[in-house]
Amino acid sequence: MKKITFLLYIFFIPFSFVQAQNNFVKENFTKIDTNITMRDGVKLYTVIYIPKDQSQAYPILMERTPYSAGPYGANNFPRRVGPNQSLMHEKYIFVYQDVRGRYMSEGVNLEVTPYIAIKKTKKDVDESSDTYDTVDWLLKNIKNNNGRVGLYGISYPGFYATASLPGAHPAIKAVSPQAPVTDEFIGDDANHNGAFFLLDNFGFMKYFGMQRNGPVQEYSTPVFSSSTNDVYRFYLKMGTIKNTNSKKYFDHKVPIWNEYLQHDTYDDYWQARNIRTHLKNINIPTLVVGGWFDAEDLFGALHTYEAIEKQSPKNNNRLVMGPWTHGAWAGSQWTKFATHDFGSNTSKYFQDSLETTFFNFYLKDKGSFNAAEATVFETGSNQWRHYNIWPPKNTNHVNYYFNNGNQLSLQKENAATGYDEYVSDPAKPVPYTEGIYGRRNNEYMAEDQRFASQRPDVVVFETGVLTEDIVLSGPITADLFVSTTGTDADFIVKLIDVLPDTASTPNGSPRGLTMAGLQRLVRAEVMRGKFRNSMEKPEPFVPGKITQVKFDLNDVAHCFKKGHKIMVQVQSSWFPLVDRNPQQFMRIPDADEKDFQKATIRIYHDAVNASRIILPVLK
């Protein structure tokens, strides 16, 4: 729908205006392609755009990326430079750099390069030192700079922005990590609470894992060829995770994929790649940005901000969370998503009122930057909220208990016994989305969950009709008491906003969609059960023994409106978003098809074993 709207918008813009926009960079900037030598001798390819107007000195605004700093060549210009149109027209010295081992840069690319706190020799390099060396070269070799540098980036480039903070060059005066990759075992791209995100990683690494023999402007072909119109059937047919390394697919040729499968606990490999532990004593203004519907790095934005707050409490650190998917705040328009209509252009608000003013103030001394500590879009009520701390202090952690009769209640169940039971069958896993898709359905994080609530392997708990608005602001905790006939199990907990039976269906909605009674997903998360007590040392379940499984879901800012209901769903598969659990305690990357077994799972809700969800209710 958004693509059609965008194309219609372009159609009615005069050609002369479009041409002027296409030529803006070429007409206003001088382009330099160069190599910058790092302290260990490795050369990183860097593309620099310098304003032709030399009447003033300009700050440097840089993005470091594994996704190409191009277009390459002195005569090839992009349509846009910088993070948004306003900043491009403000004119900065814009710099793009291919990180080590990617595209036109020399060296070897590492997965989320570990930070080296104590560098003993020039061979001890990381993304912090590469940023430092690059900034130092730019200041000395690019004329007419004002001595100030800012960094930004979305997703993997967001990680590189974060990595500039520890051991930072003194000239770095503003950094904006946006949807930054932060901790890939706990909550970002690769795993969530130890559960492997199969669908995204298999598709991504097919391209990102392409090998090269030295610097290249373009990678040749994917690691393997495969296509499907139905990912659910495709991954079921593929079988086990072990089969991803068959000759038909990765064939052990992609180092990072091999590392993913080798390191199936929160071991030294993953811990070294957790940049959060190094965000200490930061004194650079930061603007951390994320989206509530970001399927890749929602965790990264929230927890990068949190880590800086806890370890650098005096730092000027701000958080922005909007109603966006991955990177949607960088687009020209974002007013709707799935069945949500936000009532305003949220991306323009961010770019004009937050991102542009942030960099202008700290890099140019222009204007002011008076944003709140946390600028947060509240879904459900469709309003921006401004807090002096995140999560807000004025919240109550309210228990919503699972009760008999599928009830979700503020009162604990008084019965001596009570549980809901389902059979989790790895041969028939619960799909993460209702439709049939050839790739990940980007709207699944706000999708109608009626398809899941009808399944026998999903348990549902629901409040009565709300008599007043309930606003949630902050993290959610699932506290389950469970048993299984197996020795391992996954637990997916979903928080859902149930619309009234009288809700009307807007014009332009997908055919067949009925908003009345819609079960709109607000937040969901998975916990691989064996990691319930420790991510480093997994433990089996004792078959039949009641066991507590407690874990956090990512934060929310959502208003459940009067007349709606609050629903919670619990299930044990989320396929193929998450790989299947054989429901036996073992190394899942080693599992054969025969290792996958049915398990009977119980979710308890009695007076002693009171399963619940803990919600951050704003006072």
Length of the chain: 619
User: Which residue type sits at 419?
Assistant: Y
505 vs 221, residue with greater confidence:
221
> Taking the CA of residue 506 as centre, how many other CA atoms within 13 Å lie in the half-sphere pointing to its CB?
7
Checking DSSP bridges between strand 470-484 and strand 612-618, what pairing results, if any?
antiparallel
Q: Any residues with CB less than 8 A from the CB of 437 and at least 6 apart, and which?
A: 230, 231
pLDDT at 5: 30
pLDDT tens for each residue of 323-356: 999 999 999 999 999 999 999 999 999 999 999 9
DSSP state, residue 274: -
Q: What is the pLDDT of residues 133-178, one digit of tens each?
A: 999 999 999 999 999 999 999 999 999 999 999 999 999 999 999 9
Note the pLDDT of residue 505. 84
Q: Inform me whether the pLDDT recorded for 1 exceeds 90.
A: no
Q: Are 205 and 250 in contact (CB under 8 A)?
A: yes
- For position 511, what pLDDT does the model report? 66
**20 pLDDT more than 60:** no
Instruction: Sort 210 into a burial class: Cβ within 10 Å, 0-12 / 13-18 / 19+.
Output: middle
What number is the average pLDDT over the span 433-445?
96
Task: For residue 333, give every residue at least 6 positions away whose Cβ sits within 8 Å of its Cβ, in sequence order, or none.
Answer: 2, 5, 6, 345, 347, 348
Query: Using CB atoms within 10 A of its CB, is residue 101 exposed (0-12), middle (13-18) or buried (19+)?
Result: middle
How far apart are the C-alpha atoms of 187 and 296, rounded to whole Å? 9
What's the confidence (pLDDT) of residue 21? 63
Asked if the model's pLDDT at residue 19 lies above 90, the reply is: no
Summarised one tens digit per residue, pLDDT across range 258-277 is 999 999 999 999 999 999 99
Instruction: Summarize the confidence of residues 280-308 as an average pLDDT.
Output: 98
CATH numeric code, 23-183+273-387: 3.40.50.1820
Asked if residue 18 has pLDDT above 60, the reply is no
Beta bridge partners of 550: 479
| Cβ within 8 Å of residue 356, ≥6 positions away | 84, 86, 87, 90
What pLDDT band is residue 504 in, cutting at 50, 70 and 90? confident
Distance CA 541, CA 533 (A): 11
Whether the per-residue pLDDT at 467 is higher than 50: the answer is yes
Q: Is the pLDDT of residue 508 over 80?
A: no
What is the rounded average pLDDT of the residues 175-202? 98
Instruction: Show Cβ contacts of residue 393 under 8 Å, excluding neighbours closer than 6 positions.
Output: none
Is residue 239 a contact partner of residue 145, using CB atoms and an 8 Å limit?
no
Q: What dihedral do alpha carbons 262, 264, 269, 275 form, nearest 10°? A: 140
Cα–Cα nearest to 364, from 24, 12, 91: 91
Find all residues with CB under 8 Å of 423, minimum gap 6, and list them: 456, 457, 598, 599, 600, 601
Second-level CATH architecture of 395-618? Sandwich (2.60)
Distances (CA, A) of 359 to 25, 39, 150, 174, 538: 19, 29, 7, 7, 44
Q: Which residue has the tokens 């995770």?
A: 241
pLDDT average, residue stretch 573-579: 98
Helices (H) and strands (E) in the chain, counts: 13, 25
The percent of residues in the chain predicted with pLDDT above 90, rounded, is 94
Q: In one letter, which amino acid is 423?
A: V
- Long-range contacts, 186-189 (Cβ 8 Å, 24+): 186/266, 186/274, 186/299, 186/535, 187/298, 187/299, 187/300, 187/303, 187/554, 188/296, 188/297, 188/299, 188/300, 189/296, 189/297
Q: Are 482 and 543 in contact (CB under 8 A)?
A: no
Q: State the average pLDDT over residues 454-478.
A: 98
Residues 280-293 have pLDDT tens digits of 999 999 999 999 99
Q: Report how far residue 382's alpha carbon sits from residue 386's, in angstroms, rounded to the nearest whole number.
A: 13
pLDDT at 587 over 70: yes
Return the closest-CA partner of residue 321 out of 396, 373, 259, 247: 373
Q: What is the pLDDT of residue 2?
A: 31
Report whether 160 contacts 272 (CB < 8 A).
no
- Measured CA to CA, the distance from residue 44 to residue 34 in angstroms comes to 8
- What is each CA distance from 230 to 237, 295, 306, 577, in whole angstroms? 11, 19, 38, 13
Tell me the per-residue pLDDT of 85-100, one tens digit each, with 9 for 90 and over.
Answer: 999 999 999 999 999 9
For residues 16 and 148, give the distance between their C-alpha atoms in angstroms, rounded to a whole number.
Answer: 36
Query: What's the pLDDT score for residue 427?
Result: 98
Is the model's pLDDT at 22 over the cut of 90? no
Residue 133, amino acid: D
What is the distance in angstroms between the CA of the first residue and the CA of the last residue of the chain? 37
What are the angstrom distances between the C-alpha of 556 and each of 446, 476, 521, 603?
A: 12, 8, 11, 24
Instruction: For 370-396, write each residue's pLDDT tens digit.
Output: 999 999 999 999 999 999 999 999 999
Q: Which of the pair, 121 or 512, is modelled with greater confidence?
A: 121
Would the pLDDT of 509 be above 80? no
Evaluate if residue 78 carries a pLDDT over 90.
yes
Rg of the chain over all Cα atoms, to the nearest angstrom: 25
CA-angle at 520, arms to 516 and 522, nearest 5°: 155
Average pLDDT score over the chain: 95
* Helices (H), ranges, 263-385: 268-272, 298-311, 346-350, 356-364
42-65 pLDDT tens trace? 999 999 999 999 999 999 999 999
Q: Is the dihedral of CA 245, 441, 300, 80 positive or negative?
A: positive
Structure confidence at residue 85 (pLDDT): 96
